[in-house]
Amino acid sequence: MKLNRVLLALTAFFFLTGFIGIGIGSDGAKRSLDLKDTSGGGASGEATIEPFESKMPDLRTLGIFVNGLKPASVYSLWYADEQGKRSPAGVKTNHFTTDASGKARYVTTVYEYEVDDWRYLDVMHHPDGNPQNTGGMIQVLRGDLVYGTHP
């Protein structure tokens, strides 16, 4: 009888700790999220967030792979919330250029607290090729940082 209670307690512990660690970076685990097309162009992608290195526990590596975007074009990566507010995703830079087939791989460093403070990760197109011009950028991909992550 006592063994059954111990097994039940251990099972409950492992079950609950699996749900507690769902937040990105809170358990130090690698997380991925799908980037879904929002512009009707058939693009897609995936973002991966994982620990940067043990000596810098607040930093995360954010890597994305995208395809189906406009070839040889400039894009940028942004955090976003439900009200449309945005902030650049990346410590030093947040923009990249697709290759001749519309694919790109991009890696940057982000702070864990910033990832946890936002709801979405958006990929924005800069039709004029200038990532500094945010007035004309167009959202093309979106990932859900809260509900769209998976190991």
CA distance 140 to 128: 15
pLDDT for the residue 104: 98
CB burial readout 5-35, b (16+ within 10 A) else e: eeeeeeeeeeeeeeeeeeebbeeeeebbbeb
pLDDT for the residue 29: 80
pLDDT for the residue 25: 42
Length of the chain: 151
pLDDT for the residue 150: 82
Average pLDDT, the chain: 85
- Strand-pairing partners, residue 66, are 45, 104
pTM for this model (two decimals)? 0.80
- Tell me the per-residue pLDDT of 69-103, one tens digit each, with 9 for 90 and over: 999 999 999 999 999 999 999 988 999 999 999 99
CB 32 within 8 A of CB 151: yes
5 pLDDT tier (thresholds 50, 70, 90):
low
- Tell me the per-residue pLDDT of 6-40, one tens digit each, with 9 for 90 and over: 444 444 444 433 333 334 444 568 899 999 999 99
